[in-house]
Amino acid sequence: MRLRQLRRMTLSLLFLALSPFAAVQPQERVRITYANNSLSFLVPFIAKDRGLYAKNGLNAELVQARPAVNIAALVSGDADYAEVLGSAIRSAARGIPVRAVSTSIRAPLFSLAVHPDIKNIKDLKGRTIGVASVGGTNQISTRLLLQHYGIDPDREVKMLAIGEEKFMAEALRVRHVDAVMVAPPFSIILKREGFPLLAHATKVVSIPSTGLSATVDKIRQNRSQVKRALRAEVEALRYLRDNPAGSVEVIRKRFAMDEAMARESYAAVIDAFSKDGRIDAEGVDNLLELERKAGLIAKTVTVDQVIDPSLGEEVLKELGR
């Protein structure tokens, strides 16, 4: 009888040891901010919705806020991490103690959607273009795209800061603006509604768009947590490429779209995403050069003063590249 009881106890303990609940690790609460609800931030969405933050011991809260608010929250400690890479790099260049630690998108996903009566880029002269915010990656991408096609963004067009991309799309529909610079799914939705996409930033702009940023103090004092947040996002990048069906499902649910549009959105953006999260130093320097030319930062600011690639290299080594 005692032998049977001992066997039952052994089997029960073995069951508990093998149970998925036994593998649950304590979760650290972290707050991660991002700029807007678009596919530019698909990596943190996948990391959250597919449990990759949780897998790495993080109970991550994703909070949407304007780029300037993202950085302010980061510096004040109200947020642990920010996904607004361009704003973080520009802030670091001005002496704010933040650093970019990864890049999830090699080039901005924005496309220029216009009213049907605008047939080419030159027709934008004298028109109003809606952008997300002043000084953000969206506006900088718009400026670079216009310059590429021979339009002076300061003299020949007016830029209007509107905010979230869903509001930008609506401003175009009601003709509050003549064009908007938006990422999927909004660029795809507008195209379906009959608004032509005249140009795409991915073809002419080479600056890092989104990725993880943290304060210098966070990196110094809690390097382990920063690496776990970064590991979750590198795993999300791998998931994005290795699991198209699962990624499409995240897109479909996050943006409340049908299956066909979710697949089209995925196809439109997948090639722009980084494979490993490494920061492109040349792309960062391109962004800094814009700031130098505008007199917004010192000419002596260098790439290594605004990024910290060492965490990413450590994470990739631990993951076996």
Per-residue pLDDT reduced to its tens digit, 247-269: 999 999 999 989 999 999 999 89
Q: Which of 56, 31, 39 is nearest to 225 (CA)?
A: 56
Query: Helix, strand or coil for residue 95?
Result: coil
Q: For residues 127 and 156, give the distance between their C-alpha atoms in angstroms, rounded to a whole number.
A: 8
Q: Say whether 64 sits in a helix, a strand or coil.
A: strand
Token duo for residue 129? 């273009």
**Statement: residue 200 has pLDDT above 80:** yes
Q: Tell me how far CA of residue 140 lies from CA of 120, 205, 260, in angstroms.
A: 20, 9, 31
pLDDT band for 236, please (50, 70, 90 cuts).
very high
Angle, alpha carbons 279-284-287 (nearest 5°) = 150
Task: Examine the pLDDT at 222 and tell me if it is beyond 70.
Answer: yes
Q: pLDDT per residue over 96-133, tens digit each? A: 999 999 999 877 889 999 999 999 999 999 999 999 98
pLDDT over 70 at 304, yes or no: yes
Q: Does residue 34 surpass a pLDDT of 60? A: yes
Q: How confident is the model at residue 205 (pLDDT cuts 50, 70, 90)?
A: confident
pLDDT tens string 148-194: 999 999 999 999 999 889 999 999 999 999 999 999 889 999 999 99
Q: Answer yes or no: same fold for 27-106+208-318 and 111-204.
A: yes
Contact 99, 316 (CB under 8 A): no
* Model pLDDT for residues 206-219, shown as the tens digit of each residue: 777 789 999 999 99
pLDDT at 316 over 80: yes
Distance between CA atoms of residues 180 and 168, nearest Å = 6
Amino acid 150: pLDDT? 94
Query: What are the contacts of 77-81 at 24+ separation with CB within 8 A?
Result: 78/31, 79/31, 79/32, 79/33, 80/30, 80/31, 80/32, 80/214, 80/218, 80/225, 80/229, 81/30, 81/31, 81/32, 81/33, 81/212, 81/213, 81/214, 81/218, 81/226, 81/229
pLDDT of residue 1: 45
The pTM for the full model equals 0.80
Q: Give the start-to-end residue ranges of the domains of the chain.
A: 27-106+208-318, 111-204
| Nearest-angstrom CA–CA distance, 136 and 250 | 26
**CATH level 2 (architecture), domain 111-204:** 3-Layer(aba) Sandwich (3.40)
- Residue, of 207 and 13, whose pLDDT is higher: 207
CA-atom Rg of the chain in angstroms? 22
Q: Which residues pair with 81 in a beta bridge?
A: 32
DSSP 15-29: HHHHSGGGGPPP-EE
**3-class SS at 272?**
helix
CB 238 within 8 A of CB 230: no
pLDDT at 4 over 60: no
Angle at 316 between CA 314 and CA 321, to 5 degrees: 140
Report the CATH number of the 27-106+208-318 domain.
Answer: 3.40.190.10
